């Protein structure tokens, strides 16, 4: 079994929990995933099955989309509702107050990773330090927020929901915390749902219970997506049967003998096909004028 299964992760499960359960359902040892979701988060988690697991270190840095619920007037050590409360105060902001702040977070911004994160400081995970009560300085990192909108806001409860389209490495709870800081009342993320990742949406996803039911009914094939579906943002090139033999043996191919895409950039990753069969990925090397094997999935 080789391909992609898009799981709608439930809350209170780690991404590794999901992998373990999928491995048990499918009886497949080679399983990977396309990006960690915190236990409280739900939503799109593409799972890489069989030979597709080899794609884990080559996944495109495509934007991800989230819906994040937040509450004003409270802060915690984790920046989300699961943490220990640090401050709590009453506030009475309006939807317009929130809307007026959002332009500050759109586009290229700098973001300081939270202490409860997997970022390393001197070889130690920040969350390991945080659990010891240690807080250290963190360098701000560049992230990109391409879309940010307020979906709803209840002025009575001071709770709202944001839709966010952002680059890899963005911490949504930091955005909620920063909004609270600007307003002077504090804020925490109360729920997070990833609605899009690696080009897949929640409409493409199934729950673990649905996956088990499909396995019981011998119907996994209906949701198993081809390996190349996760690389559709890359352009493609088709090679002959003879060239395919060379590629499968790890040999580079002369770009002069291929129908390369127009204006191929040096270092560009390309999907490689022989006929309709997806073979893997290649890297365009302009200096040697060769298409070099990056990863094959045969």
Strand partners, 76: 85
Terminal CA-CA length for the chain:
12
Which entry of 38, 80, 177, 204 is annotated as an active-site residue?
38
CA-CA distance, 205 to 228, in Å (whole number)? 17
CA separation, residue 126 to residues 7, 15, 98, 129, 171 (Å): 28, 19, 30, 5, 14
Q: Residue 95: helix, strand or coil by DSSP? A: helix
CA-CA distance, 67 to 165, in Å (whole number)? 9
CA-CA distance, 155 to 257, in Å (whole number)? 65
Query: Comparing C-alpha atoms, which of 202, 181, 195, 188 is closest to residue 160?
Result: 188
DSSP assignment of 18-77 equals HHHHHHHHHT-S-EEESS---TT-EEEEEEEEGGGGGGGGG-----EEEEEEEEESEEES
Which pairing describes strands 290-296 and 253-254: parallel, antiparallel, or unpaired? antiparallel
Active site residue 38: yes
DSSP H or E segment with residue 280:
strand 277-285
| Catalytic machinery residues | 38
């Amino acid at each position: 079994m080789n391909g992609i299964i898009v799981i709608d992760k439930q809350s209170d499960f780690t991404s590794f929990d999901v992998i373990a359960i999928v491995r048990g359902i499918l009886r497949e040892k080679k399983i990977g995933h396309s990006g960690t979701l915190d236990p409280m988060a739900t939503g799109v988690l593409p799972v890489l099955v069989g030979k597709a697991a080899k794609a884990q270190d080559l996944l495109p840095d495509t934007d991800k989309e989230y819906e994040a619920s937040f509450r004003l007037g409270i802060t915690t050590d984790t920046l989300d509702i699961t943490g220990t409360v640090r401050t709590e105060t009453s506030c009475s902001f309006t939807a317009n107050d929130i809307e007026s702040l959002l332009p500050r977070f759109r586009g290229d911004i700098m973001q300081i990773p939270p202490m409860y994160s997997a970022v390393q400081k001197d070889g130690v995970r920040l969350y390991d330090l945080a659990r010891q009560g240690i807080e250290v300085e963190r360098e701000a990192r560049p992230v990109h927020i391409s879309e940010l909108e307020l979906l709803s806001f209840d002025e009575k409860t001071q709770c709202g929901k944001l839709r966010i389209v952002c680059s890899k490495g963005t911490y949504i709870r930091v955005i909620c915390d920063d909004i609270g800081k600007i307003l002077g009342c504090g804020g925490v993320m109360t729920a997070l749902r990833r609605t899009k990742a690696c080009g897949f949406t929640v409409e493409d996803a199934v729950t673990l219970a649905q996956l088990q039911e499909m396995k019981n009914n011998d119907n996994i094939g209906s949701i198993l997506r081809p390996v190349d579906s996760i690389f559709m943002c890359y352009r493609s090139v088709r090679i002959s049967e003879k060239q395919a033999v060379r590629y499968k043996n790890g040999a580079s191919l002369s770009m002069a003998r291929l129908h390369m895409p127009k204006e191929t950039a040096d270092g560009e990753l390309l999907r490689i096909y022989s006929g309709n069969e997806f073979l893997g990925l290649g890297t365009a090397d302009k200096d040697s004028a060769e298409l070099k094997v990056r990863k094959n999935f045969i």
